[in-house]
Amino acid sequence: MNRNLELELLCEADIGVLLYMLQEFPKYCKHLPEEKQKEYVRLVLKLDDFIAIHRTRCNDLIQLTGKIETARMEYGKLRDRIVDLEGKVKEADSLNNTLIDEYLEGGSIPTQKPYLP
């Protein structure tokens, strides 16, 4: 299962629990005295605000997680490319050193031109 989908399902489950609580609270509010009902309504509105904040943060987290995964993949590709290029540079240096050694030891023109990338 995709990591973003897992996070979405987890966040939606959290929000589902919070919404269920919001739906159930009015049943209990009816039995409270009027002064307490006003305080209760204020608390329910705060909980509703929290749900909106939680939903926004979850969506931001999901987006950032996706961007991090993309960056990790790009980094891996670049790291592999660097390792490949370093190998080619070492190979070219080795070939050039071999050709220069042949030239200096034999006193003649090397059989192959040095490789210059």
pLDDT band per the 50, 70, 90 thresholds, residue 26: confident
- Residue 15: name the closest of 27, 3, 7 by CA: 7
In a domain, 51, yes or no: yes
Q: pTM score, two decimals?
A: 0.56
Query: Is residue 35 included in any domain, yes or no?
Result: yes
Q: Establish if 40 belongs to a structural domain.
A: yes
With beta carbons less than 8 A apart as the criterion, state whether 115 and 92 touch.
yes
Q: Is residue 112 part of a domain?
A: no
Q: Is the dihedral of CA 30, 32, 35, 39 positive or negative?
A: negative
In this structure, is residue 50 part of a structural domain? Answer: yes
pLDDT, tens only, 53-98? 888 888 888 888 889 989 999 999 999 999 999 999 999 888 888 8
Concatenating the DSSP letter of every residue in 49-82 gives HHHHHHHHHHHHHHHHHHHHHHHHHHHHHHHHHH
Cβ neighbours around 18 below 10 Å, total: 16
- Most trustworthy range by pLDDT among 16-30, 49-63, 96-110: 49-63
Residue 86 has a pLDDT of 95
Per the structure, how many domains does the chain have?
1
**85 in a domain, yes or no?**
yes
Instruction: Classify 114 in phi/psi space as left (phi over 0), alpha (psi -120 to 50) or beta.
Output: beta
In a domain, 65, yes or no: yes
> Is residue 117 a part of any domain in this protein?
no
Could you list the residue range(s) of the whole structural domain that residue 13 is in? 3-106
